[in-house]
Chain A
Amino acid sequence: MLRAIDCMTEIPDITIEVSHLVKTYGSLTAVDDLSFTVKRGEIVGLLGPNGAGKSTTMRILTGYLTANSGSVQICGLPVASQAEATKRHIGYMPENNPLPEDMRVSEYLWFRGRLKEMPRAKLRARIDEVLELCDLKRNRHRILGRLSKGNKQRVGIAEAILAEPAVIIMDEPTIGLDPHQIIIVRDLIASLRGRMSVIISSHILPEIEATCDRVLIINGGRIVAQGSPAELRREIFGHTSYRIEFAGHNAAFAAHLTSIDASLSVATIGDCSSDGFCVATLVTTAPEDLGEKLLQSLPVGGYRLRALHRTQPSLEDVFLAATRRSWDARLPDKKAQNGDQRQPLPKI
């Protein structure tokens, strides 16, 4: 018990510190000058298209792969020189969650717990605990090779949190799960918030949005955007849009809008139905919500209003915009952003 408390006090506020990480496979640069930090208890999502360098970054964090240059510190310890010490702080679930086929669930967890240097007496109780957490109690004596995909995935998660590490790294933990299981896994990950730092990568964007405190969007081995989902929306789009259905003078509409708020403008207008109502998309850079103002002042101007909806760009839009922006920034004729440092990406 004392030892456990010692371990907890040892863990600094910043659990993962990555600076200027570079990893190349031959001529292909998988990770290119990547820097970020993760605080204790934070859940960070890693987003990126295929081949963006997510898995490579995660493997370097775990000490499985070595970087070409740059440094990674886990709980204040450098991974490159003290790999064994940092591995004790990490629970890792690789992509596709490989498991030995001919072991039973409880046997496997026991073996992994012993490898992670857990004392026997504590391990027994802890295995019961994680099986309960991951809803695997009924399957504890089943053979891993015969489990369903969802159950296998949960065994992988149970294994990652088994030794109560300070840092949990999961590569696509929800891939191949049904919606019900995704919710279970999401709740499980959310329950780790505050106690463990979690890095997850995923293609399922609502997934990341629901669980993560912070999102890192990676493309071509570089971070192209980072922040909370709300911050990202503001950063990438810089505007909010409203969808309204109104009836009235179309010609004077734009002028009337600017009188409501200077930044408000019409993006699209069309789809006028036979009853005189038109659908319009309005765009504003104003930080505050203009919904109430619109509802009050449009009828004053003689417009009839029957629908108003504030449309938020989904993380999907953010992701697409951010990755597209990073491709654009890397075209040879557009060197404006980072000068000559950026090289064209290898063709994938």
Chain B
Amino acid sequence: MRHYFTILSHEVRTLLYSSSTYIAAVLFLGVMGFVFAGILELYGKTPQETPPAVVFFQLFWFPVFFMVPLLTMKSFAEERRLGTLETLLTAPVSTTEVVLGKFSAAYLFYVLLWGSTLGFHYLLKVYARDARFLDPAPLIGGYLFIALSGLLFIALGILASALTRNQAVAGILCFTCLLGLIGGFSYLGELSALNTDGLLPLKHAVESLRIPAHMEDFTHGVIDTRQVFFYLTGAILTLLLSILGVEAKILNS
């Protein structure tokens, strides 16, 4: 792991130079700003039962769909297209270091961008002059969920990028995987075919994999170790597949 930090700093620099990073950042902050403003308007009209932070996080999937592909699609696809992957892997570094370096850089940006939305809540508190608006519990839970699920989402993006030399294909593949992961389980859980007695355990399993439900749990202060385990193992498995994907593409070149 001697070269991990060398690669990480190189990747962070590459992300800073890349236009898609800024597109992702501007889109993200713009969309989240509008969402937040919309929530405040809603709260201004009629009193609500849930704190605004909870509603804010309910829409987490929307920025994830475009931000994760934009941050990760370049990582391997671009290097493969340019041929610099060959120079990179003929230096005394391992594929694991390269994959982890690229993953960490993208994850760092993802967390940083989400972290910048803390400013919305702070602004609300300052202008509303009411400390209740900065309710720490759902905020801590929400951001913890974002940080945890981000591991899996970013790893998926890296995997998609590791499988192709075309950035656009990597981006769309990543988007489709995320759509399947976030929306797919909710859809499967509602299938009436699963309502028979024999398939009930399967239905429970699918329902417990519903990512929006995880988010609800986290913002309500329930931190389930099963869910933590799901994201951690999911991310590790996806990264392992990415390492294998990079090496398999070379073997079959």
Contact = CB atoms under 8 A, between A and B. Distances in A.
Interface of A: 59, 62-66, 84-85, 87-88, 90, 92, 94, 96, 98-103, 107, 111-112, 114-117, 159
Given A65-B251, A98-B86, A100-B14, 12 more contacts: A62-B90, A64-B86, A64-B90, A87-B90, A90-B90, A94-B83, A96-B83, A98-B87, A100-B82, A115-B6, A115-B93, A116-B91
B14 A114 contact: no
Contact of B17 (A59, A92, A102): A102
Contacts of B83: 94, 96, 98
B2 interface: yes
B20 interface: no
B92 A87 contact: yes
Contacts of B93: 84, 115
B92 A92 contact: no
B253 interface: yes
Nearest to B6: A114
A63 B90 contact: yes
Given A65-B250, A65-B253, A94-B83, A115 B3 contact: yes
B186 interface: no
A84 B94 contact: yes
Contacts of B90: 62-64, 87, 90, 92, 94
B204 interface: no
Q: Is the interface of B mostly helix, strand, loop or mixed?
A: helix
Given A84-B94, A87-B92, A115-B3, A99 B84 contact: yes
A94 B94 contact: no
Contacts of B89: 64
A86 to B, nearest CB: 9
A83 to B, nearest CB: 8
Contacts of A87: 90-92
A100 B84 contact: yes
A64 B83 CA distance: 12
Contacts of B251: 65-66
Nearest to A94: B86
A84 B82 contact: no
B82 A115 contact: no
Nearest to B19: A102
5 contacts: A59-B86, A84-B92, A90-B90, A100-B82, A159-B87
B250 A111 contact: no
A330 to B, nearest CB: 26
A159 B14 CA distance: 19
Contacts of A101: 82
Contacts of A63: 90
A66 B88 CA distance: 16
A196 B173 CA distance: 45
A272 B87 CA distance: 60
A66 B89 CA distance: 13
A59 B91 CA distance: 12
